[in-house]
């Protein structure tokens, strides 16, 4: 169990670091990037910044639920029910903007890193759901 907790804690740390980097981008760099942009592109940057934030919010929520299971605060069956499904939305899997040269490089990096992290956590979720069905 300690190894599992350490694994979850390391993923939470990674998510928090990425969330901090996203916060810094949105607070400091995004306003500079948007300074001379047309409204449609400003909207795109705002939307893509939100996509990163939504991904990270879902990741952190999922990880916190896993930690609660390991600490025996809730049951695995309870968190694996469809009513408690955290990782939702095909929008979080969209990679199109990562290649869009109209989007500043730092935001493209955050988009890619958050998507890859989201996909890895989604795989963990799918594996947990499969194990629950078998067990």
Give 18-39 pLDDT, tens digit per residue: 999 999 999 999 999 999 999 9
Residue 83 has a pLDDT of: 83
Domain residue limits, the chain? 2-134
pTM of the predicted structure, to 2 decimals: 0.93
Task: Choose which CATH entry (3.40.190.10, 2.40.50.140, 3.90.1150.10, 1.10.8.930) describes domain 2-134.
Answer: 1.10.8.930
Half-sphere exposure of 39 (CA within 13 A, CB side): 0
**What residues have CB less than 8 Å from 85, skipping those under 6 apart?**
none
Mean pLDDT rounded to a whole number for the chain: 94
DSSP state of 74: S
Give 78-126 pLDDT, tens digit per residue: 888 888 889 987 899 999 999 999 999 999 999 999 999 999 999 999 9
Residue 62 has a pLDDT of: 95
Residue 104 has a pLDDT of: 98
Give 42-82 pLDDT, tens digit per residue: 999 999 999 999 999 999 999 999 999 999 999 988 888 88
**Residue 76 has which token pair?**
């695995």
């Amino acid at each position: 169990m300690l190894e599992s907790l350490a694994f979850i804690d390391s993923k939470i740390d990674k998510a928090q670091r990425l969330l901090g980097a996203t916060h810094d981008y949105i607070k400091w760099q995004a306003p500079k990037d948007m300074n001379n942009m047309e409204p449609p592109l400003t909207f795109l940057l705002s939307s893509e910044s939100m996509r990163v934030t939504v991904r990270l919010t879902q990741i952190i929520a999922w990880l916190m639920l896993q930690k609660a299971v390991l600490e025996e605060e809730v049951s695995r069956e309870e968190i694996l029910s469809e009513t408690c499904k955290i990782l939702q939305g095909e929008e979080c899997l969209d990679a199109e903007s990562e290649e869009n040269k109209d989007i500043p490089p730092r935001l493209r990096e955050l988009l890619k890193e958050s998507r890859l992290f989201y996909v890895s956590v989604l795989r963990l979720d799918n594996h947990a759901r499969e194990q629950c069905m078998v067990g």
